[in-house]
A and B are shown apart, each in its own frame.
Chain A
Amino acid sequence: MRADLEIIQQWIPENSHVLDLGCGDGELLAWLKEHKNVSGYGLEIDADKINTCIEKGVNVIEQDLDKGLSNFANNSFDVVVMTQALQVVHYPDKILQEMLRVGRTCIITFPNFGHWRCRWYLATKGRMPVSDFMPYTWYNTPNIHFCTFKDFEALCHEMQMQVLDRLAVDGLHRNNLGSRLWPNMLGEIGIYRVARNVVKLA
């Protein structure tokens, strides 16, 4: 299994009901169904990936994340997952809001634009970073909303989200010492588990 999915699956309880936003070829859902008796749906818009989902027996729904999740009821999923899609959606804050509405907990992964290599590239060349990890030119990229870990956490705070778990990993999804000590500089990918803040009554 893809390394980030291997990490995520540990945060998904057995028998839970899961919504996977941008589920790709359905790898996570297929694995969870087989090993953890997890039910649920994946949303995807790429025709080839949808076909792969169908062939794997994954419940895939052809739906564009940018059109929202209004067809899903409040609290209807135990976990809502969105891997590597935060930076490609038109309104990251709105999709997060929606995820928190339909799911009890949410798992989000995204690339860290605050990683030292991005900073180095921008500082020395004065141009938008292009690397193996982020191979797109600024004018032709699906990634339209890059952020750093700090940016993301500031948004979490603003949206009164509670960060339950977070893991900064390198490009190979290893949680090494560097990314543990100084995540916003040394972590390449962020894996967050968040929930709505429980408002305590006075």
Chain B
Amino acid sequence: MAHVFPENSVGLVSPKVARFDQPLALACGRQLNEYEIIYETYGELNAQRSNAILICHALSGHHHAAGYHSVEDRKPGWWDACIGPGKAIDTNKFFVVSLNNLGGCNGSTGPGSRNPETGKIYGADFPMVTVEDWVHSQARLADTLGIEQWAAVVGGSLGGMQALQWSISYPERIRHCVAIAAAPKLSAQNIAFNEVARQAILSDPDFLDGFFIEHGTTPKRGLKLARMVGHITYLSDDSMGTKFGRELKTSQLNFDVNNVEFQVESYLRYQGEEFSGRFDANTYLIMTKALDYFDPAAVHDGNLAKTFAHAQANFYLISFTTDWRFSPARSKEIADALIAAKKNVVSVEIDAPQGHDAFLIPITRYLQAFSGYMNRIEI
């Protein structure tokens, strides 16, 4: 008998691929002449095509947001806590589209793909893509799916930034913008952490100027370090303290720099190791750069209220008390700008010890506040 999935799971899902052959002009000045976007869908598109939700992923995310690819899967998609029948993003009500962004390494065209013009793997030749570029590519995906207007665009962290960009770039194509643990732009500290991660990759001898696939290598050490430093920023001091404290891996101190002594070291190494085996180093560079570059108010002299002047969406902002990567104060900047622009906005700050990662975790008040809002969305 087949494995039985939980009742509130979307169950078995399989990704689809959309091919595009109209050139996509990018913010960097270059263009992608042809590209593919891998995506998954959950739920049914209604006859009026008014119940579609777009899920935008964060730095290391991808299209597999909910359900299982096979009965052997140990874990469901990355946002399964929030997507499924009866969940915050209820697939009985909504048609959910989740994609892997361009430049990614999970099936959409990215640095690991073959450049049709040269026949070689892109590697470092893959053009830099920005949040705006992603939103334009997502709009094309919406076109092919026959979705004129999203009931909502939803995302956490970098995904939240894409949701915000949607409300600015395509005001008439988005009814609700749900930005969770997001920021209107990165702080110097945020950029600094990204730069450390990039330097870790760039200085790995196996990186080979970004053409490592051609040479059959992987800059695993660099990627591992990048993930380790990134991961620290996803957790809170509190949650690390509770999870690991100063607990030792061994029974005593070894007075040896080569030994893993504290549990937290072991955890970070494991996270880095696992990540370096599945992620593309060039993708990591692109994603962190896209984060750094995101600043929609820049073209409005830094005036965020002016940036949202033409937005028509209703906004929902969720932040978490112990998130120090994109703290509640950063969400408040967005809320204040929207209030100044007299837009509809709901803004909540969830008391949660888990830091930035809280947006992925089924925290009672978070789920209540999330589903309360989603349930009200008219389709």
Interface residues of A (CB under 8 A from B): 17, 39, 41, 47, 50-51, 53-55, 57-63, 71-73, 76
Contact, CB under 8 Å: B372 / A59: no
Task: Output the nearest chain A residue to B335 by Cβ-Cβ distance.
Answer: A61
B-chain residues with CB within 8 Å of residue A50 when the two chains form the complex: 348, 369
**Counting CB contacts under 8 A, is B340 at the interface?**
yes
Contact, CB under 8 Å: B345 / A59: yes
B-chain residues with CB within 8 Å of residue A17 when the two chains form the complex: 342
Residue from A39, A62, A71 within 8 A of B336 (CB atoms)? A71
User: Known: A61-B335, A61-B339, A76-B340. Contact between A54 and B347, CB under 8 A?
Assistant: no
Residue from A39, A57, A62 within 8 A of B376 (CB atoms)? A57
Residue from B332, B349, B368 within 8 A of A71 (CB atoms)? B332
A-chain residues with CB within 8 Å of residue B145 when the two chains form the complex: none
**Counting CB contacts under 8 A, is B346 at the interface?**
yes
Q: How far is the CA of A58 from the CA of B345 in the complex (A)?
A: 9
A/B interface sample: 6 pairs, CB < 8 A: A17-B342, A47-B369, A55-B372, A58-B346, A59-B344, A76-B340
Closest 7 CB pairs of A and B: A54-B372, A71-B336, A61-B347, A62-B348, A62-B349, A55-B372, A54-B373
Q: How far is the CA of A57 from the CA of B365 in the complex (A)?
A: 17
Residue from B340, B368, B369, B375 within 8 A of A73 (CB atoms)? B340
Instruction: For the complex formed, measure the closest distance between the CB of B323 and the CB atoms of chain A, giving whole angstroms.
Output: 14
Interface residues of B (CB under 8 A from A): 332, 335-336, 339-340, 342, 344-349, 351, 365, 368-369, 372-373, 375-376
Q: How far is the CA of A60 from the CA of B348 in the complex (A)?
A: 8
Residue from A41, A57, A72 within 8 A of B345 (CB atoms)? A41
Task: Output the nearest chain B residue to A61 by Cβ-Cβ distance.
Answer: B347
A-chain residues with CB within 8 Å of residue B365 when the two chains form the complex: 47
Contact, CB under 8 Å: A62 / B347: yes
Q: How far is the CA of A50 from the CA of B332 in the complex (A)?
A: 16
Contact, CB under 8 Å: B342 / A39: yes
Task: Output the nearest chain A residue to B340 by Cβ-Cβ distance.
Answer: A73
Task: Output the nearest chain A residue to B305 by Cβ-Cβ distance.
Answer: A73
Instruction: For the complex formed, measure the closest distance between the CB of A67 and the CB atoms of chain B, giving whole angstroms.
Output: 11
Contact, CB under 8 Å: A59 / B346: yes
A-chain residues with CB within 8 Å of residue B336 when the two chains form the complex: 71
Q: How far is the CA of A123 from the CA of B262 in the complex (A)?
A: 66
A-chain residues with CB within 8 Å of residue B369 when the two chains form the complex: 47, 50-51, 54
Instruction: For the complex formed, measure the closest distance between the CB of A39 and the CB atoms of chain B, giving whole angstroms.
Output: 7
Besides A54-B348, A59-B345, 10 new A-B residue pairs in contact (Cβ under 8 A), listed by A number: A47-B365, A50-B348, A51-B372, A53-B346, A54-B369, A55-B376, A57-B376, A59-B344, A60-B348, A61-B345
Contact, CB under 8 Å: A72 / B339: yes
Contact, CB under 8 Å: B368 / A51: yes
Q: How far is the CA of A166 from the CA of B336 in the complex (A)?
A: 32
Q: Which of B339, B344, B373, B376 has the most CB of A within 10 A?
A: B339
Q: How far is the CA of A73 from the CA of B373 in the complex (A)?
A: 27
A-chain residues with CB within 8 Å of residue B368 when the two chains form the complex: 51
Instruction: For the complex formed, measure the closest distance between the CB of A140 and the CB atoms of chain B, giving whole angstroms.
Output: 22
A-chain residues with CB within 8 Å of residue B348 when the two chains form the complex: 50, 54, 60, 62
B-chain residues with CB within 8 Å of residue A62 when the two chains form the complex: 347-349
Q: How far is the CA of A73 from the CA of B332 in the complex (A)?
A: 15
Q: How far is the CA of A63 from the CA of B375 in the complex (A)?
A: 23
Q: How far is the CA of A51 from the CA of B366 in the complex (A)?
A: 10
Q: How far is the CA of A50 from the CA of B342 in the complex (A)?
A: 20
Contact, CB under 8 Å: B372 / A71: no
Task: Output the nearest chain B residue to A47 by Cβ-Cβ distance.
Answer: B365
Instruction: For the complex formed, measure the closest distance between the CB of A63 and the CB atoms of chain B, giving whole angstroms.
Output: 8
Instruction: For the complex formed, measure the closest distance between the CB of A69 and the CB atoms of chain B, giving whole angstroms.
Output: 11
Task: Output the nearest chain B residue to A55 by Cβ-Cβ distance.
Answer: B372
A-chain residues with CB within 8 Å of residue B342 when the two chains form the complex: 17, 39
A-chain residues with CB within 8 Å of residue B372 when the two chains form the complex: 51, 54-55
Task: Output the nearest chain A residue to B349 by Cβ-Cβ distance.
Answer: A62
A-chain residues with CB within 8 Å of residue B376 when the two chains form the complex: 54-55, 57
B-chain residues with CB within 8 Å of residue A57 when the two chains form the complex: 376
Task: Output the nearest chain A residue to B373 by Cβ-Cβ distance.
Answer: A54
Task: Output the nearest chain A residue to B332 by Cβ-Cβ distance.
Answer: A71
B-chain residues with CB within 8 Å of residue A73 when the two chains form the complex: 340
Q: Which of A51, A54, A59, A73 has the most CB of B within 10 A?
A: A54
Contact, CB under 8 Å: B375 / A55: yes
Instruction: For the complex formed, measure the closest distance between the CB of A80 and the CB atoms of chain B, giving whole angstroms.
Output: 13
Q: Which of B332, B345, B347 has the most CB of A within 10 A?
A: B347
Q: How far is the CA of A58 from the CA of B376 in the complex (A)?
A: 11
Instruction: For the complex formed, measure the closest distance between the CB of B351 and the CB atoms of chain A, giving whole angstroms.
Output: 8
Task: Output the nearest chain B residue to A70 by Cβ-Cβ distance.
Answer: B336
Task: Output the nearest chain B residue to A43 by Cβ-Cβ distance.
Answer: B347
Q: How far is the CA of A5 from the CA of B346 in the complex (A)?
A: 22
Q: How far is the CA of A10 from the CA of B369 in the complex (A)?
A: 32
